[in-house]
Amino acid sequence: MIKLVVKDLHKKFGGLHVLKGVNFEINGPELIGLIGPNGAGKTTLTNILDGAIKPNSGTVYLNDTRIDQLEPYQVALAGLGRTFQVTRSFRRMTVLENLYVPALAMGRPDSKPAIHDKAMSVLEFLTMDHLRNEFAQALSGGQQKLLELGRLLMLDPDIVILDEPFAGVHPRLMDIIHEYIRRVNDEGKAIIIISHQMDSIFSLSQRLLVLNYGDLIADGEPEVVKHDPAVIEAYLGSDEDEEEPEPATETQS
Amino acid sequence: MRRQVPYYAGLALIAFLALFPFVYSANDYDYIMHIFIIAFFYAILASSWSMLAGYAGQFSFGHMGFMGIGAYTTALFCHYFYLSPQATNVCTEFQFGDTWLVIVNPIGVTSTTLTQDCLSQALAVWGGAYEVTPMPVWLGIVLGTIMGGVFGLLIGLLVLRLRAAYLALFTLGFAEILRATISAEINITRGQAGIELPKLFQDGITVFGRTFSSTDKIPPYFAMLALLLLCLAILTWLAKSKFGLFVRALREDQDAAAALGVNTTRYKVLVFVITTMMAASAGAVQAHYIGIITPNNLFLLQMSLVVAMAVIGGVENFVAAAIGAIIIEFVLEMLRNSFDIGGITVDMTIWRLVIFGIILMLTLRFTRNGLITPVIEYFTRGHVGGETVAHRAQPADESEAAK
């Protein structure tokens, strides 16, 4: 079973304490939303999870393998894949070539025709099969986001981190991304979605993690977290929920 | 069929180059053959640099330095190492069975010391009773190639965390330090005087019953052409393998490639090693063809020429870079001829570089993929747009129907 254990994670950039002892676990194919205001530490946490930066202290275990000191490619091969906040497709490579990269990097003994067939099925799912031979730079911003998601399908990791998957995406492509997330989750993968699109986060997530200036201030079901006074104070804002009679400051723990 | 045109054109070009020495018979035969050999040399450098910079995005300006390492390795090897049937007792030497490996002591270039090397002294004592055997040229070329790879590995490891301008400056610094060191170490490298090397086929060669002397152009022509084709074959194989895919991903976005499981460190170092070995092998063969290597061969201007050739041909396509190098080498030679316009003599020894610079600037401004790559892509990728448009309606209709 998929298991991610993040324990007492600290990260400082000079005098800035970006993560202050973050702890959480993922057990099984959970669909998790990670939210927080700008500067909360979401991207830093993601970068530590995928090996791009190393924590000052704390540990991350993925399926009993410690990954916090591994290189990003080793983390990917261990079973954790991610997308980036700003889309990072391989612009001067074709759409198909973009998909071949993770499949070949995994080093599975799949034959080239098998990899091609899988890539084509991914593109059909993303309604991009007609663009297969175009360079990625010819795609729209939304299509490039889909391409990034397609690359993750080819990587086939146990845990997927999607950093702002809905930002700047046309509503029709948004539907495809929602469908993508549900499909990947149904396939038994755990997913962490980082987004400021609250509608999408609340409609998709089974669990919410809320970061605020390096502290994990809430971890629970979306409906519960939504009414957590600390979260309201830090992120959602007290005016958003009229059912909250008490000022957020008074409920701060 | 249209997609196959570049391949057939490539085969036709190879056939032309293979037949040219036997069908061309003008008075300037040796001159044209010489230009071809030099053009092949630059084509190897431009195509391997294209793999390094164009495919992998590693803008190294140390390529001529690696070329120099190959050239100087074989030069020093052939200059200082000999096999002797008898111990000299004055040189550093090691016995292997009945043979002695003799290492000649460096004596620099001053006229008073020219006859003072230990081997000359030993030969004088022997009075012709024994003869020493120079090292085989092919072994020097192999050693030069390996040494280029070793330095490529070291530099590749050192520049792992450097990108873009920092990488360019680092490699530029390496090449300049190497050139300065070779110039300064007169005692060993003979400095600006350079080191003479045995010819590529010092004792001549007989092929299919025809004997060629050491000064004939046909053997070095085919040696350099074979090396070029070998390099292009290796580059083609690499480009079509996952190596080519990964180094292009590395060029596009190193972090994204790593996040998708690509060991970027391994491929960055590998591409350095492979391309520097190619540059070193070209340098070694070229040095034996010319017969002398000097630090001037490593000048920054030479590196600029290789970069310009690759850019004009098409830096993201090593075949285009190679063709560009051959064409530019010929254009530069043809532009040597001065001419008169209305009684005014245009001195092309000066203006040819200006014209070359203008061609480079216009290429960068208007065709960033070079002059050859767009032609190749017209045939290989010209159909893509049409295919996309033809297929576009289908999924849209299907999705509408599904709704």
Which residue in B66, B28, B32, B29 sits closest to B49, CA to CA?
Answer: B66
Q: What is the mean pLDDT of residues B197-206?
A: 91
Interchain CB contact of A170 with B (< 8 Å): no
Point out the least confidently predicted range of A13-27, B125-139, B220-234, B342-356.
B342-356
Give the pLDDT score at B132.
92
- Summarised one tens digit per residue, pLDDT across range A165-177 is 888 888 888 888 9
How far is B252 from A88, CA to CA, in rounded Å?
Answer: 9
Interchain CB contact of B239 with A (< 8 Å): no
Give the pLDDT score at B11.
94
Interchain CB contact of B253 with A (< 8 Å): yes
Residue B2's pLDDT band (boundaries 50, 70, 90)? confident
> Is residue A248 domain-resident?
no
Percent helix, strand, coil in chain A, to 5, is: 40, 25, 35
pTM, 2 dp: 0.89
Q: Which residue has the higher pLDDT, B2 or B133?
A: B133
Cα(first)–Cα(last) distance of chain A, in Å? 35
Q: What is the mean pLDDT of residues B120-142?
A: 92
How far is A138 from A145, CA to CA, in rounded Å?
Answer: 13
According to DSSP, the residues that pair with A24 across neighbouring strands are A6
How far is B77 from B92, CA to CA, in rounded Å?
Answer: 14
Give the pLDDT score at B399.
46
Contact (CB, 8 A) for B118 and B105? yes
| B94 CB neighbour count, 10 Å cutoff | 9
Interior angle at CA A73, CA A42 and CA A120, nearest 5: 95
Nearest CB neighbour to B259, from listed A76, A97, A104: A76
Q: What is the mean pLDDT of residues B213-241?
A: 95
What's the domain count of chain A?
Answer: 1
- Summarised one tens digit per residue, pLDDT across range A185-210 is 999 999 999 988 888 898 899 999 99
Q: What is the mean pLDDT of residues A14-22?
A: 92
* Residue in B closest to A139 by C-alpha: B388
Q: Which residue has the higher pLDDT, A174 or B50?
A: B50
> Is residue A236 domain-resident?
no
Domain range for A138: 3-220
Residues of chain B with CATH 1.10.3470: 2-78+136-334
Contact (CB, 8 A) for B48 and B318? yes
Residue written as token pair 């004939």: B216
Instruction: Please count the residue pairs, one from chain A and one from chain B, whose beta carbons lie less than 8 angstroms apart.
Output: 93
Interchain CB contact of B27 with A (< 8 Å): no
Q: Which CATH number is A79's domain given? A: 3.40.50.300
What is the nearest CA distance from B141 to chain A, expressed in angstroms?
A: 35
Q: What percent of chain B has pLDDT over 70?
A: 96
Point out the least confidently predicted range of A94-108, A140-154, B98-112, B276-290.
B98-112
B2-78+136-334: CATH class: mainly alpha
Residue written as token pair 């391989």: A90
Q: Chain A residues with CB inside 8 Å of B261's CB? A: 73, 76-77, 102, 105-106, 155
How far is B219 from B210, CA to CA, in rounded Å?
Answer: 11
What part of B 277-336 touches A (C-beta under 8 Å)? 316
Interchain CB contact of A73 with B (< 8 Å): yes
Instruction: Print burial letters for A12-33: b (CB count within 10 Å at least 16), e (below 16).
Output: eeeeebbbbebebebeebbbbb
> Is residue A183 domain-resident?
yes
Nearest CB neighbour to A133, from listed B263, B264, B387: B387
Contact (CB, 8 A) for A166 and A197? yes
What's the half-sphere exposure (Cβ side, CA atoms, 13 Å) at B145? 15
Give the pLDDT score at A238.
52
